[in-house]
Structure 1
Amino acid sequence: MTRSVICCFLALLLSTRISAQHQQRRPVFTCGGNLTGESGFIGSEGFPGVYPPNTKCVWKITVPEGKVVVLSFRFIDLESDSLCRYDYVDVYNGQANGQRIGRFCGTFRPGALVSNSNKMLVQMVSDANTAGNGFFAMYSATQPNERGDQYCGGRLDKPAGSFKTPNWPETDYPAGVTCSWHIVAPKNQIIEVKFEKFDVERDNYCRYDYVAIFNGGEINDAKRIGKYCGDSPPAPIFSDGNELVIQFLSDLSLTADGFIGYYKFRPKKYLTTTVSPITTTTQATTGTTTLKYTAALCQQKCKRSGTLESNYCSSNFVITGTVITAVSRGGSMYVTISIINVYKEGSLAIQQAGKNMSAKIVVLCKKCPFIRRGLNYLFMGHTDEEGRGKIAPNNFVMAFKSKNQKNLNTLKNKRC
């Protein structure tokens, strides 16, 4: 979207009549402020011009008592980074020590964000190097938990429960909604999620309607477990820790039946076996990485799910490479990959020596998928906090051949 188009868009949307001449003016967006009333607009400083460097702007939104805030981004263009470390917009429930609803950067426009009270805080941070026109959003007030409306989600902290799309099971879910469920278990437990019924608009890249699941307490692509659509329920999902966020988004076009899912808390020992690769001394005193593999994963049928196209956007990284080392430890396989091509880097830690690039990957279940040293593979997976790749049985891995190159180059040029 060019700057001239943005200017025209804003002039049309936000113009106000002044004096007898009925002249039109575009509002001036400043760095932060206090916003009240039933609805209004919020934008980065100087929008639609390039936002300034080295700033921290805070907007406090307050709607009438008894209502909640709905924030809808109409445009976002900030410096892009897979972890949103440099320039970003944070959105919080409340206005003091509230839970962060999400962090956003790049050009990805999230669905509507809904607070759990009549207050919301928006913060934008930029570093010394800026890139883009910032953001523009609209806020409005709505009644909370109004049956049949488009808003849903909330905090789930009971030992077991369910979550479902609006209107389930009577009619299709509505268009243009975002639901976020924040599941919180006790510190020493993890969360298991299963979908009983699942029908979300199908797309090879899950670009339109989808369910995204994140480790932790916020929407953060670096911690995304997966992104799902279509009519096949995902396999059971287990959190790494005691918090999980489930986000459902539908666009303004086609809808479908929706879904109902169930969660329950599990003790950590239910799924994980801790193995020390070198020494039995604890991680706290030696810095040795504690390796974990999920026993339940390895009991599943060894079959990759979906296609190359359907897994591309839901994977944190996509690379092709040659397996140069493969070491079995416990029930997992630790692999070093000499990289042929990087199609999607995500938060994968890539080492470079001269022209040669390599990465470390853990195949959580050493026989699924079965990896052999010296062969070329396409890997699609997720990463741990250290930037090491993680491959589960349902991640997409296949033998790589030159004929796959064209499809991968096409995928690389598509926006997720």
Structure 2
Amino acid sequence: TVPIFTCGGNITGESGVIGSQGYPGVYPPNTKCVWRITVPEGKVVVLSFRYIDLENDNFCRYDYVDVHSGHVNSQRLGRFCGTFKPGALVSTGNKMLLQMVSDANTAGSGFLAVFSAAHRHERGDQYCGGRLDKPSGTFKTPNWPEKDYPAGVSCFWHIVAPKNQIIEVKFEKFDVERDNYCRYDHVSIFNGPEINDARRIGKYCGDSPPAPVFSEGNQLLIQFLSDLSLTADGFIGHYKFRPKKLPVTTTPPTTTTQPVTTRPTPLKYSVALCQQKCKRRGTLESNYCSSNFVITGTVITAAMRGGSMYATVSIINVYKEGSLAIQQAGKTMSTKIIILCKKCPLIRRGLNYIFMGQVDEEGRGKIAPHHFVMAFKKKNQKGLNVLKNRQC
């Protein structure tokens, strides 16, 4: 017998099943349903989506399910829509909250999820995560470096600098279960003190250390989640506080006796980025290790949107995949790349290039003016193969 799923409720116990209202029928429009899960004290909640089918949108603005680690004022573990199933989600305590919102136009059967109680992971007498407010410090996965991090871990490091400083984060070693979309085990870094998808700097997994990360303000949140399946070595990272540097506007001399002062005005990221000199720095070798991905490919489509160019690249060879999303049709592989400043570097449809850059949370390659892009010729192939076989 299929249980009848209603709109929200309070659920207690060691395990259970939650479904959207009317599942597996189409969920109703204009609703907001909240489920509050409580498992026994001393345990954590592990939630796995078995099925999800909600109106699709890249930012999940219309119909979505939010999952929070607790009932009140708690960390959001994620927002989900479409048919994309996330990996297992783990709360920090014995409570979890799900909220499903639908607008006037609905599409799909909703969701079905199961939860269970699991033992909270302890490292000695201390849980992983915590508040970090010294000028510099280190954070690492449980068990580092003696053995793999355990399954079912949820860690949050909240780094707080003085008001006039920013934070730099670097990963010394990094090995987290690999997936093209980092759905399972992953590290997410957010500007500010809380999980907020709009303020996420990046989502990382695989065995390549992410590029150094700088905060916009004086707070960062680093989240590490592992599900209940594969584990890996984990990571060790370091942070330090740095002075905030703002571009200062200068004013021409004036004839007034009072000095004229202007306040520093922070530039928008993309504008500041596109004002950089368009110059490729370094060599193939020096850029290889600092890049999330390295591929060679042919540009098959290139479309302008705003100040950026969105390109589809037919892949010739993958030297370093990282978390880049690669589609395969038969023997043909392709990927999406965004040139953040459309003419820097300037690429043309039909030509072959070497691309080295970073990857956004949706698995797309991002190329900024200082990243390494050059025309690909057969003579480069030998050098790239040597780099691929060398440890960074």
Report what 1:196 is aligned to: 172
Q: Are 1:38 and 2:14 an aligned pair?
A: yes
Helix, strand or coil: the match of 1:107? coil
Contact 1:323 1:373 in 2 (8 A): no
Pairing partner for 1:257 from 208, 221, 233: 233
Over the matched positions of the two proteins, sequence identity in percent amounts to 57
Report what 1:361 is aligned to: 340
Report what 2:345 is aligned to: 371
Q: Equivalences for 1:5-16 in 2 at 5 Å?
A: none
Report what 2:333 is aligned to: none
Contact 1:192 1:264 in 2 (8 A): yes
Hey, what's the Cα distance between the residues in 2 that align with 1:43 and 1:62? 16
Counterparts in 2 of 1:170 and 1:32: CA distance versus 1, 3 Å: same
Contact 2:23 2:110 in 1 (8 A): yes
Counterparts in 2 of 1:234 and 1:35: CA distance versus 1, 3 Å: same
- Structure 1: 5+ residue runs without aligned partners? 1-24, 311-317, 325-334, 347-358, 384-388, 402-416
Instruction: String of CA shifts for 1:40-61, please: whole Å, max 9, x gaps.
Output: 2222112222222211001122
Q: Are 1:135 and 2:111 an aligned pair?
A: yes
Report the alpha carbon displacement of residue 289 of structure 1 after superposing the two structures with TM.
Answer: 5.3
Pairing partner for 1:121 from 97, 105, 109: 97
Pairing partner for 1:53 from 21, 24, 29: 29
Pairing partner for 1:85 from 61, 64, 67: 61
The RMSD of aligned alpha carbons is 4.7
Q: Are 1:227 and 2:207 an aligned pair?
A: no
Report what 2:195 is aligned to: 218
Instruction: String of CA shifts for 1:223-261, please: whole Å, max 9, x gaps.
Output: 34243412x423322123344343445566654322212
Instruction: String of CA shifts for 1:58-87, please: whole Å, max 9, x gaps.
Output: 112223344443333333222222211111
Report the alpha carbon displacement of residue 30 of structure 1 after superposing the two structures with TM.
Answer: 0.6
Helix, strand or coil: the match of 1:261? strand
Q: TM-score, normalised by structure 1?
A: 0.61
Report what 1:181 is aligned to: 156
Q: Are 1:238 and 2:214 an aligned pair?
A: yes
Instruction: String of CA shifts for 1:111-136, please: whole Å, max 9, x gaps.
Output: 33333443332111011222222222
Counterparts in 2 of 1:37 and 1:138: CA distance versus 1, 3 Å: same
Contact 1:204 1:309 in 2 (8 A): no
Counterparts in 2 of 1:82 and 1:197: CA distance versus 1, 3 Å: same
Instruction: String of CA shifts for 1:298-334, please: whole Å, max 9, x gaps.
Output: 9985726254569xxxxxxx9953899xxxxxxxxxx
Amino acid across the alignment from 2:100: M
Higher helix share: 1
Hey, what's the Cα distance between the residues in 2 that align with 1:275 and 1:319? 42
Helix, strand or coil: the match of 1:96? coil
Pairing partner for 1:156 from 125, 128, 131: 131
Amino acid across the alignment from 1:100: R
Report what 1:315 is aligned to: none
Pairing partner for 1:321 from 274, 294, 302: 302
Counterparts in 2 of 1:139 and 1:275: CA distance versus 1, 3 Å: farther
Amino acid across the alignment from 1:96: V
Hey, what's the Cα distance between the residues in 2 that align with 1:256 and 1:224? 23
Contact 1:154 1:182 in 2 (8 A): yes
